[in-house]
Amino acid sequence: MMAVLVAARRLELPDCWIGAGFVRRKIWDHLHGFAQATPLDDIDLLYFHADDTSRAGEQAIEERLHRAMPGQPWSAKNQARMHLRNGDQPYSGTVDAMRHWLETPTCVAVRIRTDSDPGPQRAGVLELAAPYGIDDLLRLIVRPTPAGRRREEAYRARLESKQWRQNWPKMHVIWP
């Protein structure tokens, strides 16, 4: 996991994080006592670059990541354009975009800080972003965020398609 975080940091992308299933899966695996990690569907690299909201820009970043760490399921998404897909007002940054995701335990991301990152923490330490906290994540609870409640059909469809209970049977889903 650290190699993934280092590869992301080396890109020097603005407001860059690795999130969602990358973090959630590790914690749920641990809470279930799994000796082997559950396979990752993708590694969500999130960043916020308002000056280049093209899909081509994201693909170029994915290509760089595949060269740095071949065989990894990279998925780069510029959160500066994701509001269009979700029908929201423009987001102010990556963590703000995460507030518009559908379920609380997925709204987590981590990064290795640099000197240029805002805030009092020192460079080189891990920083966690969790706009809804981590209680649901640690309690194996999947509940809708305000966006998930507003977009109930999308929330339900996502949970049905992910089939998380097959991998993590102790989790509990809260339906809106």
Q: Where are the domains of the chain?
A: 2-173
Residue 100 pLDDT grade (very low, low, confident, very high; cuts 50, 70, 90) = very high
Q: Which letter, b or e, does each residue of 125-164 get, where b requires 16 or more Cβ atoms within 10 Å of its Cβ? A: eeeebbbbeeebbeebebbbbebbeebeeebbebbeeeeb
> pLDDT digit string (tens) for 60-96?
999 999 999 999 999 999 999 999 888 889 999 999 9
pTM over the 0.85 mark: yes
pLDDT band at 126 (very low <50, low <70, confident <90, very high): very high
- The answer on pLDDT for 114 being more than 80 is no
Does residue 120 carry a pLDDT above 70? no
Between the CA of residue 56 and those of 53, 60, 72, 130, what are the distances in Å? 9, 6, 19, 28
